[in-house]
């Protein structure tokens, strides 16, 4: 039985995106078609997730070339959970774009580019081949270059130049690391690499190569090497920021998890210690950044950095509970960061400034926006019924069990900084005296809050429905911690 359905989450956005290029002048039609295609992708991801639970890990050999000779897509619970979440978030962001973006942006290939971005993201999650991972990364990055520069402001151009140069350098490092790995192991199929690394017992040379990969993916994920992130995430149009904040760093995080749980997990005292230290420094740097600025978009961008550090604490500890916690938190963070950026963007559109000093008393005129922001804040801080809670609990519990008290302290402190930084926005922008009277306030564009409310419901739903998600997350964590399952699923037929 062919699993051709596996390629749909990448193929469908590409085909639809290409077709939309021919419909350039029809802004709204493009929006509806792209929303529909991402909704279909979401449905297919649901089906895949369900199918994996009954049939085990699925794989699709492109062109019928069996691994390790061909390129293949592998779907385990971890990958598909992320594909599912990213498709949902993209769908919602696209519907926000339908309502909020200008006609100019819509006709400048905005929707096709978002779809290509989604294709790159989904492809990166699903691929079972390291070179293909590089290609999917490039698809995603090229789309992100376009999205970052669409919008015609001087600041965007400045940030885009930084962003593009950083990413070209890190892509070059990626290629070098792939060349090293291919030179020493002779294969790039992930399962095959994992098998051969395990046979050799991960020699010092391989550990060194793994550090090169660590640097590459840290640059992409914003783990310690996040200096490019706050600027480039806070300059483009708001939908783009939301997509970047929700998806881009997550792909880097996914690659780190895959690399250091499937392939390079034999020397945890070196690699995982380094990851732990980097995560700790990221938490500190992100927390300082989040409270240091008065620009609400920059604060939101630093919140992305904190989350990256927090999730990587889970990988550094690498016990089953920590892995589960990290997966929960990863899913939560995709939803919550998209929500945070959309709300912040709506606030900026309403008040015409991104500085905290320019806003006050928004609560009186826009209560719904205010309470949505409040729920987002609680969710990001990890207050119980919301989605951030379970991840924080599991990672903290795992940190206590494994005796990593330093990481525990930093992880919990960072939550307080998240809460403080957002509470500051809440207090300054929503409370206080209402500067403009109700008549003078620009009206909230009709329907602009619906996508935000959908995400709010999602974060509440994930929090309350944790029980329902548990089997999938447990399965994902189990596959991550027992690489044999993955390797057998890919190479099983040959041996």
Partner 1 sequence: MNINDVILKTVSKAVVLIILTFGIYLFLSGHNQPGGGFIGGLVIASAFVLMFLSYDSETVSEALPIDFKKLSALGVLLAMLSGVAPMFFGGAFLSQSFGYFDLPIFGKTELATVTVFEAGIALTVVGVVVNIILSISEDE
Q: Note the residues at the interface with partner 1 (CB under 8 A).
A: 2, 4, 7, 11, 14-15, 18-19, 21-22, 60-64
> How far is the CA of 128 from the CAs of 239, 304, 315, 460, in angstroms?
30, 27, 20, 33
- Least distance in angstroms from the C-beta of 119 to partner 1: 11
Beta carbon nearer to partner 1, 72 or 348? 72
Exposure class string for 147-163: b at 16+ Cβ within 10 A, else e = bbbbbeeeebeebbeeb
CB of 71 to partner 1, least distance (A): 9
Smallest separation (angstroms) from partner 1 to the CB of 175:
18
Core vs surface per residue 193-228: b (16+ CB within 10 A) or e: bbbbbbeeebeeebeebbebbbbbbbbbbbbbbbeb
Shortest spacing between CB 10 and partner 1, in angstroms: 10
Minimum CB–partner distance for residue 178 and partner 1 (Å)? 20
For residue 61, list its beta bridge partners. Answer: 72
Within 150-292, where are the H helices? 154-185, 190-200, 204-221, 229-234, 238-243, 249-258, 271-292
CB nearer to partner 1: pick between 22 and 54 = 22
Among residues 63 and 443, whose Cβ is nearest to partner 1?
Answer: 63
Cβ distance to partner 1 smaller for residue 19 or 448: 19
Give min distance, CB of 91 to partner 1, in A. Answer: 21
Measured from the CB atom, the residue of 14 and 247 that comes closer to partner 1 is 14
Taking the least distance from each CB to partner 1, the nearer of 164 and 290 is 164
CB of 125 to partner 1, least distance (A): 17
Minimal distance in Å, beta carbon 73 to partner 1?
8
- Please provide residue 382's backbone torsions phi and psi, each rounded to the nearest 5 degrees: 95, 40
How many whole angstroms separate alpha carbon 46 and alpha carbon 48? 5
Q: CA-to-CA distance for 106 and 490, rounded, in angstroms?
A: 42
Q: How far apart are CA 174 and CA 51, in angstroms?
A: 33
Q: What is the DSSP code string of 278-342?
A: HHHHHHHHHHHHHHH--BHHHHHHHHHHHHHHHHHHHHHH-SHHHHHHHHHHHHHHHHHHHHHHH
Of 450, 445, 456, the residue nearest 101 (C-alpha): 445
Least distance (Å) between residue 130 CB and partner 1 = 19
The nearer residue to partner 1, 114 or 312, going by C-beta atoms, is: 114
Q: 61: part of which helix (H) or strand (E)?
A: strand 58-61
Cβ-in-10-Å burial (0-12, 13-18, 19+) of 240 comes to buried
Please spell the DSSP secondary structure of 430-450, one letter per residue.
Answer: ISS--SS-TTTSPPPPTTTHH
CB of 2 to partner 1, least distance (A): 5
> Which one, 142 or 270, has the nearer CB to partner 1?
142
Nearest CB to partner 1, comparing residues 7 and 444: 7
Closer CB to partner 1, 18 or 36, in the complex: 18
User: Quick one: 21 or 470, whose CB is closer to partner 1?
Assistant: 21
Q: List beta partners, residue 60.
A: 73
Instruction: Tell me the sheet residues that pair with 355.
Output: 295
Min dist CB 19 to partner 1, Å, is 7
CB of 64 to partner 1, least distance (A): 5
Strand bridging mode 58-61 / 72-75: antiparallel
Cα–Cα distance measured from residue 171 to residue 394, given in angstroms and rounded to the nearest whole number: 34
Q: Which is nearer to partner 1, 14 or 395 (CB)?
A: 14
Specify the DSSP class assigned to residue 66: P
């Amino acid at each position: 039985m062919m699993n051709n359905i596996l390629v749909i989450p990448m193929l469908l956005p590409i085909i639809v995106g290409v077709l939309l290029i021919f419909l350039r002048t029809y802004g709204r039609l493009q929006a509806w078609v792209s929303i529909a295609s991402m909704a279909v992708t979401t449905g297919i991801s649901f089906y895949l997730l369900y199918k994996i639970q009954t049939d085990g890990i699925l794989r699709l050999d492109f062109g019928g070339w069996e691994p390790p000779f061909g390129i293949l897509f592998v779907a385990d619970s971890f990958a598909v959970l992320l594909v599912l979440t990213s498709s949902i978030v993209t769908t919602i962001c696209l519907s926000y774009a339908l309502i909020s973006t200008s006609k100019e942006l819509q006709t400048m290939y905005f929707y096709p580019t978002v779809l290509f971005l989604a294709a790159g993201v989904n492809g990166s999650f699903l691929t079972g081949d390291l070179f293909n991972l590089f290609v999917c990364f490039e698809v995603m990055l090229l789309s992100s270059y376009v999205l970052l520069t669409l919008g015609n402001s001087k600041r965007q151009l400045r940030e885009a130049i930084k962003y593009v140069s950083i990413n070209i350098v890190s892509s070059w490092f990626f290629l070098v690391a792939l060349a090293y790995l291919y030179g020493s192991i002779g294969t790039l199929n992930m399962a095959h690499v994992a098998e051969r690394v395990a046979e050799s017992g991960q020699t010092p040379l391989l550990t060194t190569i793994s550090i090169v990969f660590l640097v590459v993916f840290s640059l992409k994920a914003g783990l310690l090497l996040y200096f490019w992130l706050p600027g480039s995430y806070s300059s483009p149009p708001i939908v783009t920021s939301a997509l970047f904040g929700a998806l881009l760093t997550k792909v880097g995080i996914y690659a780190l998890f895959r690399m250091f749980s499937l392939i390079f997990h034999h020397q945890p005292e070196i690699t995982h210690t380094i990851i732990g230290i980097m995560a700790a420094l990221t938490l500190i740097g992100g927390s300082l950044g989040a409270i240091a600025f008065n620009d609400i978009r920059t604060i939101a961008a630093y919140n992305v950095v904190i989350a990256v550090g927090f999730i990587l604490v889970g990988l550094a500890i690498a016990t089953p509970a920590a892995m589960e916690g990290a997966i929960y938190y990863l899913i939560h963070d995709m939803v919550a960061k998209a929500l945070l950026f959309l709300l912040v963007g709506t606030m900026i559109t309403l008040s015409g400034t991104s500085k905290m000093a320019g806003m006050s008393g928004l609560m009186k005129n826009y209560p719904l926006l205010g309470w949505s922001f409040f729920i987002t804040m609680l969710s990001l801080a990890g207050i119980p019924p919301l989605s951030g809670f379970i991840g924080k609990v599991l990672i903290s519990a795992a940190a206590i069990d494994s005796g990593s008290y330093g990481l525990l302290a930093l992880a919990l402190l960072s939550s307080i900084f998240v809460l403080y930084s957002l509470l500051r926005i809440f207090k300054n922008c929503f409370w206080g005296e209402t500067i403009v009277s109700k008549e003078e306030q620009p009206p909230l564009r009709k329907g602009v809050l619906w996508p935000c409310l959908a995400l709010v419901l999602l974060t509440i739903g994930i929090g309350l429905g944790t029980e329902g998600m548990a089997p999938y997350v447990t399965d994902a964590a189990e596959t991550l911690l027992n690489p044999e399952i993955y390797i057998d699923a890919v190479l099983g037929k040959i041996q």
